[in-house]
Amino acid sequence: MSIAELEVMKGYIRLCDDGFKMGWHERNGGNFTYRMTANEVDACRPFFYPNREWTSIGITVGNLAGEYFISTGSGKFMRNIADNIDDTICIVEINREGNAYRIVWGLVHGGVPTSEFPSHLLNHSVKKVTTNNLYRIIYHAHTPNVIALTFVLPLTARDFSRVLWKSMTECPIVFPAGVGVVPWMIPGGTDIAIASSELMKEYDTIIWAHHGIFCSGPDFDTTFGLMHTIEKSAEIYIKALSCGQGIRQTITDDELRQVAKAFGVTLNEKFL
Ligand code: 13P
Ligand code: ZN
């Protein structure tokens, strides 16, 4: 059996491939990390390389000490992952202090995990605590419609949450907390990592202005579905605006509350 045939790898690869086919991953755009379960690590262990060097992460994530992540490689193209996993992705182990990592499998021709690795780890660290160990994924994509909206809407959580909730009826059920927004920042830096992780305490989705979406979830389906729902909602809003007449009617705040009640979710009241 090859490592690509393991269930966890099949799920990881499918998300990458689906994201590329949606048009969210031009070139090396976007990245994706998955925090593995102990059983998944055991299944992959026969493929691990022995005794690799540790590399400093640049930050300390104490509650991720000893964890293993599957990560896209920096500069690697999502388009190529399904056909060439051992050159494009890697499995990374975090050391006992939570301040260094080593590649235990993958990136056979060299390379490092995504340049957003510190951002991913800081956000995994937050989600591990706030979801009581449930969330395992951080997924970043260059979603064109959401990026376009960051040129026309005020860059606030309130403005984006309201527009995205109201552009497709079932959106409030999918992201009842709304979405966070960070202003334009340098990709791969510590500032964007810290700003996102602060917002991840409250939201599962952060919009990075003029850049894309950074989102989190418990499993491949839920996280891909969240990304897909938000990007589709943005697309519908842009299509409606593109008709050139402005928005004639929309879902009211009271109707948002009715949907939330009918589906048993609690909306972030500060946006209503
Ligand atoms: P990486 O290739 O290093 O993952 O960077 C892509 C990206 O989208 C950075 O935000
Ligand atoms: Zn990016």
The answer for residues whose C-beta is within 8 angstroms of residue 51's C-beta and 6 or more apart is none
Distance CA(69)–CA(33), nearest Å, equals: 6
Residue whose CB lies within 8 A of the most ligand 1 atoms, among 20, 24, 31, 206, for a mutation test: 31
**Do 28 and 127 fall into the same domain?**
no
Ligand 2 centroid, distance to 213 Cα (angstroms): 8
Q: What is the pLDDT of residue 52?
A: 86
* Rounded average pLDDT over 58-87: 97
Q: How many domains does the chain have?
A: 2
Q: Is the CB of 116 within 6 Å of ligand 1?
A: yes
Task: Among 81, 115, 149, identify where a domain stops.
Answer: 115
Name the pLDDT band for 222 (thresholds 50, 70, 90).
very high
**Do 17 and 77 fall into the same domain?**
yes
Tell me how far CA of residue 52 lies from CA of 17, 71, 115, 148, in angstroms.
Answer: 29, 17, 20, 42
Tell me how far CA of residue 58 lies from CA of 29, 105, 188, 203, 233, in angstroms.
Answer: 23, 21, 12, 25, 36
What's the domain range around 11? 1-115
Ligand 2 centroid, distance to 142 Cα (angstroms): 6
**Do 125 and 222 fall into the same domain?**
yes
Task: Among 85, 115, 145, identify where a domain stops.
Answer: 115
DSSP 46: G
Instruction: Evaluate if residue 217 carries a pLDDT over 90.
Output: yes
> Three-state DSSP class for 180?
strand
Q: Is the CB of 33 within 6 Å of ligand 1?
A: no
Q: Nearest ligand to the C-alpha of residue 212? A: 2
* Rounded average pLDDT over 116-142: 97
Distance CA(85)–CA(183), nearest Å, equals: 34
* Rounded average pLDDT over 214-218: 98
Condensed to tens digits (0 to 9), the pLDDT of residues 87-100 reads 999 999 999 999 99
Task: Among 115, 133, 154, identify where a domain stops.
Answer: 115
**Do 210 and 220 fall into the same domain?**
yes
Q: What is the pLDDT of residue 51?
A: 80
Identify the active-site residue in 40, 67, 93, 116: 116
**Do 139 and 260 fall into the same domain?**
yes
**Do 163 and 266 fall into the same domain?**
yes
Report the mean per-residue pLDDT for the chain: 97
Distance CA(256)–CA(253), nearest Å, equals: 5
**Do 78 and 137 fall into the same domain?**
no
**Do 54 and 181 fall into the same domain?**
no
Name the pLDDT band for 149 (thresholds 50, 70, 90).
very high
